[in-house]
Chain A
């Protein structure tokens, strides 16, 4: 630990503020972890059963995924303090007909600053 402080002090004194930021010649830039994991499950409000094939998307962004056979979904998205997640029935009657839903999620600072930021959503959709 003592050694780490010494290293940081010398690094700071080098007057190159990015002494600790580097990339290998043939590698990528470093990732500073600017994202969070959104996970959850979509179920039917009427039956309580999981719903497959619901499109889960981030409002005003291109990212989306679909729920699996257990109604589950999981994706990483840019770390924002609040965001709107949309749940859309895109497969018509194939897995039942459901009303669409938008959910505004507000993410606490304690989650945003944690090492593995994650939000879990339980979403119920009404049958049409």
Chain B
């Protein structure tokens, strides 16, 4: 009864959020260069990207179109690997000068003590670093023999800072699935307070690699692992907001599933495209900072993000949970968009009904 009421209220809350569509969170794909060649990369980044890094002044021009930014408005620097930019601290300082905050997603390879200090000095406020297993499985996924050694240093530094809102993310796959408990113990030992778990999206390089994807049994076991970990209270473990997980909602996350792409989350991509999360199909691009006023696009476009009734097709068409899920994470609509790429709830229900 209480769960039903909570879900009904949350649906009303979502409607209010959509009407309001306050921009809180802006991804900036500041480079597509990368120093790793990960097997699961969704964006096919490489050392020699076809795109030059976006000049800081181009990004700032777009940022300056935002009228009265929200109180917690944050620019999230992503890539590629943002630390490959030589001017990363300058980027951060310019964002802070405007009364905005900034954060960064990194693979941690270049994050040494000197960089840690210079980023804090430049006002970095939040950081996410990826670790995808213990040494062997992390290095395998990252395609680099020194990757674990480097990320271990980065995690230690970031966890030591009481200033940073820091978390670690892990893409769970067939290789690291058996290591989850050990990874959890390792992170606790490193002083990490928050750990987010993902599954891998079948796009980019990962698409045709079966080792990347959990079986339905493993996926349900992942949900149970997160539930069990959350009861222990020694580290805040959660499932990412990638999809609706039915009976596990509020058991694997602090809040109900709500894909905020295009509602509170926008992005400026490497070529100037205006969209939402960077892993969303590029056909959903709403404009381009080199032709359009960024904030005007945010205020007046994004119709497909804010009214998702078009997703009621394929397996979503007859789904009894559609009102709570509304087509799962937006990034699961790729290509011709005739059906959702992955339905987490379907996987769970399949295993529950076995």
CB under 8 Å from chain A, chain B span 70-123: 72, 74, 76, 78, 96, 99, 101-105, 113, 116-117, 120-123
Chain A residues with CB under 8 Å of B256's CB are 14, 16
By the criterion CB–CB under 8 Å, are A16 and B117 in contact? no
Q: Per a CB cutoff under 8 Å, which of A11, A16, A29 touches B250? A: A16
A7 adjacent to B16 (CB under 8 Å): yes
Interface code A3-33, partner B: CB below 8 Å = 1, 0 otherwise? 1101100110111101101111111111111
Verify if A37 is at the interface (C-beta below 8 Å from B). Answer: yes
Q: Is the CB of B105 within 8 A of A15?
A: no
Could you tell me the distance between the alpha carbons of A20 and B260 in the complex, rounded to whole angstroms? 11
Select A31's contact among B16, B113, B125, beta carbons within 8 Å. B125
Q: Chain A residues near B278 (CB, 8 Å)?
A: 26
Assuming the contacts A25-B277, A63-B120, A76-B123, asked whether A31 and B103 have C-beta atoms less than 8 A apart, the reply is: yes
A36 to B279, CA, bound (A): 33
B13 touches A19 (CB 8 A): yes
In the docked arrangement, what's the CA distance between A94 and B101, Å? 37
* Interface residues on chain B, number (Cβ under 8 Å): 60
Q: Which residue of A lies closest to B264 (CB)?
A: A22
A109 at the interface (CB under 8 A from B): no
The DSSP consensus for interface residues of chain B is: mixed
Tell yes or no: B127 within 8 A of A by CB: yes
Q: A31-B72, A76-B123 are in contact. Are A24 and B13 (CB under 8 A)?
A: no
Contact of B117 with A64 in the complex, beta carbons under 8 Å = yes
Question: Is B245 on the interface with A (CB-CB < 8 A)?
Answer: no
B240 at interface by CB-CB < 8 Å = yes
Q: Is the CB of B76 within 8 A of A35?
A: no
Q: Complex: how many Å from CA A7 to CA B15? A: 9
A10 lies within 8 A of B255 (CB): no
Chain A, 35-67, contact with B by CB distance < 8 Å: what is the 0/1 string?
101000000000000000000000000111100
Measured CB to CB, the nearest residue on chain A to B169 is A26
Q: How far is the CB of A117 from chain B (nearest CB, A)?
A: 11
Contacts A3-B19, A7-B20, A22-B241: A28 and B127 contacting too (C-beta < 8 A)? yes
Q: 1/0 per position for A48-90, CB-CB distance to B under 8 A?
A: 0000000000000011110000000011111000000000000
10 A-B pairs closest in CB distance: A31-B125, A75-B121, A28-B103, A76-B123, A7-B16, A31-B126, A78-B163, A28-B128, A28-B126, A31-B101
Binding site for A on B (CB under 8 A): 6, 9-10, 12-13, 16-17, 19-20, 24-25, 27, 72, 74, 76, 78, 96, 99, 101-105, 113, 116-117, 120-123, 125-128, 160, 162-163, 165-167, 194, 196, 198, 240-242, 250, 254-256, 258, 260-261, 264-265, 277-279, 329, 331
